[in-house]
Amino acid sequence: MRTKRLSAALSVLLAGALVAGCSSGAEEQTPQETGPVELTFWTWAPNMDKIAAVWNEAHPDIKVTVSKQAGGDEAAAKFLTAAKAGNAPDLVQAEYQMLPSFVAAEAVADIKADVEGVRGEFSDGIWSLVTLGTDAVYGLPQDSGPMMLYYRQDLFAKYGIAVPKTWDEYAAAARTVRAKDKSVYLGGFSTKDPGWFAGLSQQAGGQWWAITGEAWKVGINDEATKKVADFWGGLAKEGAVDTQAPWTPEWNAALNGGKLLTWASAVWGPGVLSSNAPDGKGKWAIAPLPQWSAGESYSGFWGGSSIAVSAGSKHRKAAAQFLSWLNTDAKAVDLLIKEAAIYPAAKSGQKLLTTAPEYFANQPDFWQQATTIAGTARGFTFGPNVNVAYGAYKDAFDKAVQQKSSFADALTSVQDATVADMKKSGFTLAG
Amino acid sequence: MSTAQKGARAHRAGATPYLYLAPAVVLFTLFVAAPIGYTAYLSMRRVKFSGLGLGKNSRTEIFAGLDNYRAAVADGEFWAGWLRVLGYAGLVLTLMLGLALVFALLLDSARVRLARFSRIAIFLPYAVPGVVATLLWGFLYLPSLSPIHATLRAFGVENVDLLDPSTVLFSMVNVAIWGGTGFNMLVLYTQLRAIPRDYYEAARIDGAGELAIALRVKVPMLAPALVLTTVFSIIATIQVFTEPMTLRPISNAVSSTWSPLMKVYTDAFINGDLYSAAATSLVIAVISVVPSLLFMRLVRRQAFGEER
């Protein structure tokens, strides 16, 4: 009995201490009146610390400290957890599709008033990714990933195929390649890259989320996206495209060894190709994505990110000031290109790209082509639970590929999972 | 007066043990009890959005009662995950412990050569972290670069996919056995060395051969160690996470909810729903304890008979 009472008392004491410890961390601290403002910055862009050092030297009153993060799904989860615990960084890199969930979690601040001056630096399509179609501004765009078709110039000649202008031509070429060489595929369908599929759906005119009045409309299985799903589903079923998981040594070997002739990817592709397929140097080239109707020219976005100011930051103005410099100042954007190897979102930055990547020495007009393609890319509004939709995509399409079942049905199950999650969370849904 | 004195003395006598206990109690509270308590608290809450969920104050955390538990138990995928894990655990338990027992008995038998080398060679994979082991094996399972496939091809077996739905379970079991046999072998072997040699001599005088000694003397005397390794293995296999999680990116046959623990991970870190994850993990904890307890109950008499 005594033991019980004592241990109960002890645990109460400890619990008290714990609660006290937690709450003292969350208490408001008075802003520093003297000394420089200290900002912390979570990003996975390489060499960002070098870029921040350039800023720090010119701005002794605002000191930015970079903390290098791992990218991917976990990066978003980590930030949301930190925000909940009250120790989020001042600045955070956010992939465009994750920004709405940050906003919904009230983890990032509206910086509209602080970045009014730089609106003109960005195209409307990119800008809508940081406003989410509202009046607020939740971050500044840093880089973007317009999609294009990477293809093996030499092997296209060898197999006697022309660069496909439409998806129909792509399908025909895929069959031709299989007929000529059983060990080679024209391209692949990735069940592991929902962002890739989202980009292809954007190209087709899909609108996965939309805001109508005060309600969300979810259209993951809209007609445009269904068309994309059925197209790839048909090719996968007849074995005309590769369905192995990308980003594995096996996939690298295929890309490197000429067993995959094309890769529908984004503007950041050269970095991947040069490290994963070093033997292909000088043999790959880029072209616009195949189109759904001849004569059209559309693309979509795969990847790209913004930098947001966390809601808990005590120095919103200083943070926004650094952000504006980082993503629009000519010198900073030049550093972003050279040090962080990104394709800048700012319009002015795209003009700074002149010399083709070394890997693409065979295509001296690489950046001119890329910029033209970027101008044709259309995006869509991302909803507050992209993570759920993307997770459902991987499970549903893995299964469809394994069972050779309908991709349209897989798409419907992604739609259903996304809608069910939004309903459960209490979002207002239209229709 | 006398009662007060008595009380004081009792207090003095009683304080010392608690003082000794304090570090354990503090650590237990901080790192076990408090997190479990917090998990239980989280499991009964959820987030509610209103409207678009984008404006200020459109997100509130509310009390959910047992809703999260109801959802966890009603999810068919959760039970399908348990079924997969049951198949996995059955294979790993029988094969891994069987192999560990055979190796231990072989190493203990008088006639074995290269005992030291074999012991280390069998144990070494245990020192390789699970993620690394699974990555290594995962790459070996991929066809174009792998010596496994090259060997199969040399014997005329073409186009085996070691990562498709019908084979991926065995591929995972293989990793677990590779990594786990050594540890269990060592536990059993250590116990074997502790058995007095006199028993074997007596058995030999009675006319028993090596095999008979192994089966009728050594194995029964190994019972407590076998129980220990079985319980540890049951708990470890039920919590299988590393192998499917690491194979998932390279296979189309492992879903995000392949094992119950993967469902917790997906809920918490992909879907951002800590509340459902908390409820599911408590359900898993309860379910994990049951087979271990059942097994202990079943074998208590045989294994620990002499202690009762």
pLDDT at A398 > cutoff 50? yes
Average pLDDT over residues A405-419: 97
**Residue B8 has what pLDDT?**
52
Beta bridge partners of A372: none
Phi/psi of residue A43, each to 5°? -150, 155
Using a CB–CB cut-off of 8 Å, the residues of B that contact A are: 14, 18, 22, 25-26, 29-30, 33-34, 37, 47-54, 56, 58-59, 139, 142-145, 164-165, 249-257, 266, 268-272
Give how far the C-alpha of residue A381 lies from the chain's centroid of Cα atoms, to the nearest Å: 13
Minimal Cβ distance to B142: which of A2, A250, A399: A250
Q: Do B54 and A191 lie within an 8 Å CB cutoff?
A: no
How many cross-chain Cβ pairs, A to B, lie less than 8 Å apart? 115
Cα distance between residue B53 and residue B272, in whole Å: 15
- Whether A73 shows a pLDDT value over 80: the answer reads no
DSSP B266-298: IIIIIS--HHHHHHHHHHHHHHHHHHHHHHHHH
| Chain B residue at shortest CA distance from A400 | B252
Helix (H, G, I), strand (E, B) or coil at A63: strand
pLDDT tens for A162-196 read: 999 999 999 999 999 999 999 999 999 999 999 99
Above 70 in pLDDT, residue A379?
yes
Cβ–Cβ below 8 Å for A426 and B30:
no
Q: Is the pLDDT of residue A348 over 90?
A: no
Could A428 and B52 be called an inter-chain contact, meaning their C-beta atoms sit closer than 8 Å?
A: yes
Strands A62-68 and A140-152: unpaired
What pLDDT, on a 0 to 100 scale, did the predictor assign at position B67?
Answer: 94
DSSP assignment letter at B142: S
Q: How far is A193 from chain B (nearest CA, A)?
A: 10
Residues B240 and B226: beta-carbon distance below 8 Å = no
Chain position carrying tokens 């010119």: A58
Q: Per-residue pLDDT for A5 more than 50?
A: no
Using CB atoms, pick whichever of B26, B48, B253 lies closest to residue A426. Answer: B48
Taking 70 as the pLDDT cut, the residues of chain B under it are: 1-13, 110, 301-308
Q: What's the pLDDT score for residue A2?
A: 41
Buried (b) or exposed (e) across B97-114, using 16+ Cβ within 10 A? bebbbebbbbbbeeeeee
Q: Which domains does chain A have, with CATH numbers?
A: 34-144+303-358 (3.40.190.10), 146-300+384-425 (3.40.190.10)
Scan residues 284-343 of A and list those with Cβ closer than 8 Å to B: none
Task: Give residue B222's pLDDT.
Answer: 92
State the Cα–Cα distance between residues A253 and A249, nearest whole angstrom: 6
Which residue bears the tokens 């033997």? A279
Question: In terms of DSSP bridges, do strands A301-309 and A91-95 run parallel, antiparallel, or are they unpaired?
Answer: antiparallel
Tell me which chain A residue has its CA closest to the CA of residue B142: A250
Radius of gyration of the CA atoms of chain A, in A: 24
For A419, the 3-state DSSP assignment is: helix
Of B49, B145, B270, the CB nearest to A387: B270
Beta bridge partners of A92: A42, A308
Q: Which residue of B has its CA nearest to A77?
A: B269
Judged on CB neighbours under 10 Å (0-12, 13-18, 19+), A20 is exposed
> Does residue A282 come out as left (phi exceeding 0), alpha (psi in the -120 to 50 range) or beta?
left
A385–B271 C-beta distance less than 8 A: yes
- Among B29, B253, B266, the residue with its CB nearest the CB of A402 is B253
Quote the pLDDT of residue A347.
Answer: 86
Instruction: List, in order, residues 6 or more apart from A293 with CB less than 8 Å away.
Output: A166
**CB within 8 Å: B272 and A387:** yes
A5 in contact with chain B, both atoms CB, cutoff 8 A: no
C-alpha distance from residue A136 to each of A60, A191, A364 (Å): 30, 34, 40
Hey, which residues 252-271 in chain A have their CB within 8 Å of chain B? 253-254
pLDDT tens digits along B26-73: 999 999 999 999 999 999 999 999 888 887 778 888 999 999 999 999
Out of B30, B164, B252, closest to residue A191 by CB = B252
Q: Where are the alpha helices (DSSP H) in A27-164?
A: 48-58, 73-85, 99-104, 124-131, 153-159
Please return the burial class of A83, using the count of CB atoms within 10 Å of its CB with bins 0-12, 13-18 and 19+. buried
- Distance, in Å, from the CA atom of B88 to the CA atom of B260, rounded to the nearest integer, reads 13
Angle between helices A167-180 and A223-237 (to 10 degrees): 10
Q: What is the pLDDT of residues A81-126, one digit of tens each?
A: 899 889 999 999 999 999 999 998 899 999 999 998 999 999 888 8
Question: What letter would DSSP give residue A280?
Answer: G
Q: Does A212 touch chain B (CB under 8 A)?
A: no
Which chain A residue lies closest to B267 (C-alpha atoms)? A388
pLDDT mean over A15-32 = 40
Cα–Cα distance, A234 to A404 (Å, whole number): 9
Which tokens is A364 given? 């001296």
Q: Is A19 on the interface with B (CB under 8 A)?
A: no
Kindly indicate the confidence band of residue A156, based on its pLDDT and cuts at 50, 70 and 90.
very high
The reported pLDDT for the residue numbered A7 is 46
Q: In the structure encoding, which two tokens stand for residue A270, read together?
A: 């050269």
- A248/B249 touch (CB, cutoff 8 Å), yes or no: yes
What residues contact B55, with CB distance under 8 A and at least 6 apart?
none
> How close is the nearest chain A Cα to the Cα of B35, in Å?
11
The torsion angles phi and psi of A305, rounded to 5 degrees, stand at -150, 165
Q: Which residue has the tokens 């997906």?
A: B266
Q: Which residues pair with A95 in a beta bridge?
A: A305
Supply the mean pLDDT for chain B. Answer: 88
Dihedral angle of Cα A218, A224, A228, A230, to the nearest 10 degrees: 90
> CA A230, CA A211: separation in Å to the nearest integer?
26
* Of the candidates A93, A102, A72, A81, the residue with the CA atom closest to the CA atom of residue A195: A72
Rounded distance, CA A56 to CA A49, Å?
10
Chain B residues whose beta carbon lies within 8 Å of the beta carbon of residue A100: 54
Task: Round to whole Å and give the CA distance between A416 and A388.
Answer: 11
3 state SS of A245: coil
A223 burial level (CB within 10 Å; 0-12, 13-18, 19+): exposed
Instruction: Give the chain A residue whose CA is nearest to the CA of B58.
Output: A104
**Cβ pair B187, B228 in contact under 8 A:** yes
Share of chain B above pLDDT 70, in %: 93
> Average pLDDT, stretch A329-341?
90
CA gap A172, B139 in Å, rounded: 33
Whole-angstrom distance, CA of residue A337 vs CA of residue A292: 32
All structural domains of chain B: 2-63 (no CATH), 75-307 (1.10.3720.10)
Instruction: Find which of A106, A217, A429 to mutate to test the B interface (most B CBs within 10 Å of its CB).
Output: A106
Q: Give the chain B residue nearest A388 (alpha carbons).
A: B271
Could you give the CA distance from residue A199 to residue B137 in angstroms, rounded to a whole number? 33
Nearest to A244 by CA among B170, B172, B159, B84: B159
Which residue in chain A is spatially nearest to B268 when comparing CA positions? A77
DSSP string, B74-136: H-HHHHHHHHHHHHHHHHHHHHHHHHHHHHHHHHHSTT-SSHHHHHHHHHGGGGS-HHHHHHH
* pLDDT of the residue at A12: 42
Residues forming beta bridges with residue B46, ordered by sequence position:
B62
